[in-house]
């Protein structure tokens, strides 16, 4: 009985923690099980490209971007953390890691980075196919869901950029069964 209450309290606590972070807004235009076709409107991102394997490169980029949103920028402005943190493969053995800025920010209001490795970008009117899953962000789990989404898109004759983006919504202390992860492919309109 004690374990039951521990699980229940954990679920409530993690739900509060997870719900307290602004998420990148989108509109679902089609849903088929865990796969969604989404329209994303305008968003500004801060992006860093780092070299190495995914885990090491993502950790390095994450630290750089955290310093930026904690106020190590031209105006010393703190910026709220949002979700997800996205990762995509660079063509030269590196990884692009992005933080999305809160929706009230635009290119004119995002502070200028002090660190020259940070690029500020505006993304406008992009359509993605996404598949959501829980668990660890292991190579096996990512490959499995990437294949499911790619097969779905091919079987349903979508034109898409065959370069996946990984999206992670939760901090590392969230238990794997509560985590929200996604694989996204950009749809060519």
Q: What is the pLDDT of residue 19?
A: 52
- Give pTM, 2 decimals: 0.87
Strand spans (E) along 52-104? 82-83, 85-89, 94-100
Q: What is the pLDDT along the chain (189 residues), one digit of tens a residue?
A: 655 444 444 444 444 454 579 999 999 999 999 999 999 989 999 999 999 999 999 999 999 999 999 999 999 999 999 999 999 998 777 999 999 999 999 999 999 999 999 999 999 999 999 999 999 999 999 999 999 999 999 999 999 999 999 999 999 889 999 999 999 999 998
What SS3 class is residue 13?
A: helix
Cβ atoms of 23 and 14 closer than 8 Å: no
For residue 16, the model assigns a pLDDT of: 45
Looking at residue 3, what is its pLDDT? 58
* Alpha-carbon span 153 to 148, nearest angstrom: 9
Q: Which residues have CB under 8 Å from 9's CB, separation 6+?
A: none
Q: How far lies 22's CA from each of 146, 154, 161, in Å? A: 25, 32, 27
């Amino acid at each position: 009985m004690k374990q039951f209450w521990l699980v229940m309290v954990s679920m409530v606590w993690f739900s509060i923690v997870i719900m307290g972070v602004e998420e990148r807004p989108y509109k679902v235009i089609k849903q088929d099980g865990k796969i969604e076709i989404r329209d994303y409107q305008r968003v500004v991102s801060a992006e860093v490209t780092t070299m190495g394997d995914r885990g090491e490169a993502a950790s390095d980029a994450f630290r750089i971007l955290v310093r930026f949103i904690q106020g190590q920028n031209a105006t010393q402005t703190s910026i709220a953390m949002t979700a997800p943190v996205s990762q995509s493969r660079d063509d030269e053995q590196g990884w692009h890691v992005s933080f999305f800025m809160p929706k009230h920010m635009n290119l004119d209001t995002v502070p200028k980075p002090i660190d020259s490795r940070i690029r500020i970008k505006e993304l406008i009117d992009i359509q993605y196919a996404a598949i959501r899953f829980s668990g660890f962000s292991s190579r096996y789990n990512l490959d499995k869901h990437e294949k499911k989404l790619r097969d779905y898109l091919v079987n349903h004759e979508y034109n898409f950029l065959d370069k996946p983006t990984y999206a992670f919504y939760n901090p590392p202390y969230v238990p794997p069964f509560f985590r929200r992860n996604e694989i996204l492919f950009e749809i060519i309109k």
